[in-house]
């Protein structure tokens, strides 16, 4: 192989199992929180409401599909829930572009660790790695480009689903039973308080999630409810001992119809 095609020496040196640390050391301009932005305010798309629910066999993470930019709807089909690895998922609220870039880096971070160390990070370890990345974005958050994700996964050691929330400084907090973040989180959490039950089945958890997102969309203009006309449904990830799977659009369409029919009966559809 010619010298021009060889990997740089930095790629061949032993070091940390953290890909983020490697990137910060050798290409810092590619780390989301290291970039400089204009001092004046800028309008960028923001993701809105994310919901997480613990159920009998694991945990569910869901998000609406709307992104807003000021008083405008920037996107009606944005994906805000992603598989972090085989046994965890992350949902994003806040500045959409920065959040999506952070999630992609987080996915590489977990894969890199597994390849270097030959084992998976524990679920708490994954949550702490994400917290470190959020802390690195604090400078941009102070200028209005904050990222506030919701992380959920299946703990193989404890055989249960767990939920972790964050603040813009990188503080990591374990939540119990259910949680929500984003502009519609207050309304979604109010619905969850009344509908969540211990040892819910997977199907019950999906139904409760749709109910919560509907309530958030009713009262928060930045949260998009299910759109029957364009067949735009929330993104719903299920994480359990079998791994991370996403609920199909066909199943979500059926659940949405059930929710609508129940609301028509009590006069709750607006």
Q: What residues act catalytically?
A: 48
Question: Could you give phi then psi for residue 181, rounded to 5 degrees?
Answer: -135, 160
Do residues 16 and 10 touch, judged by C-beta distance below 8 A? no
Distance between CA atoms of residues 85 and 126, nearest Å: 10
To which residue do tokens 């969850």 refer? 192
Distance, C-alpha 44 to centroid of its chain: 18
Nearest CA-CA partner of 205 in 213, 216, 197, 193: 197
Measured CA to CA in angstroms, residue 167 lies from 23, 57, 93, 194 at distances of: 24, 28, 11, 25
Report which DSSP code applies to 227: B
Distance between CA atoms of residues 76 and 86, nearest Å: 27
Question: Could you give phi then psi for residue 139, rounded to 5 degrees?
Answer: -60, -45
Distance between CA atoms of residues 73 and 81, nearest Å: 19
Residues 6+ apart with CB under 8 A from 67: 45, 46, 47, 48, 73, 74, 75, 78, 96
């Amino acid at each position: 192989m010619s010298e021009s095609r060889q990997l740089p020496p930095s790629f061949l040196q032993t070091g940390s199992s953290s890909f983020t640390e490697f990137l910060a050391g050798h290409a810092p301009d590619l780390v989301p929180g290291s970039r400089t932005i204009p001092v004046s305010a800028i309008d960028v798309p923001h993701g809105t409401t994310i919901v997480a629910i613990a159920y009998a066999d694991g945990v569910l993470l869901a998000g609406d599909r709307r992104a807003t930019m000021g008083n405008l709807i920037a996107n009606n089909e944005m994906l805000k829930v992603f598989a972090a690895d085989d046994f965890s998922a992350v949902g994003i609220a806040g500045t959409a572009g920065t959040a999506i870039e952070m999630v992609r880096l987080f996915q590489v971070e977990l894969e890199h660790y597994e390849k270097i160390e030959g084992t998976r990070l524990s679920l708490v370890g994954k949550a702490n790695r994400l917290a470190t990345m959020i802390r690195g974005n604090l400078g941009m958050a102070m200028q209005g480009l904050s990222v506030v994700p919701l992380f959920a996964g299946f703990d193989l050691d404890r055989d249960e689903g767990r939920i972790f929330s964050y603040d813009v400084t990188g503080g990591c907090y374990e939540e119990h039973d259910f949680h929500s973040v984003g502009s519609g989180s207050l309304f979604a959490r109010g619905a969850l308080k009344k509908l969540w039950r211990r040892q819910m089945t997977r199907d019950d958890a999906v139904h409760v999630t749709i109910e919560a997102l509907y309530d958030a969309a009713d009262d928060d203009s930045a949260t998009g409810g299910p759109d029957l006309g364009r067949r735009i449904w929330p993104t719903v990830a299920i994480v359990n001992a079998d791994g991370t799977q996403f609920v199909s659009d066909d199943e979500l369409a059926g659940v949405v119809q059930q929710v609508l029919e129940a609301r028509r009966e009590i006069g709750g559809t607006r």
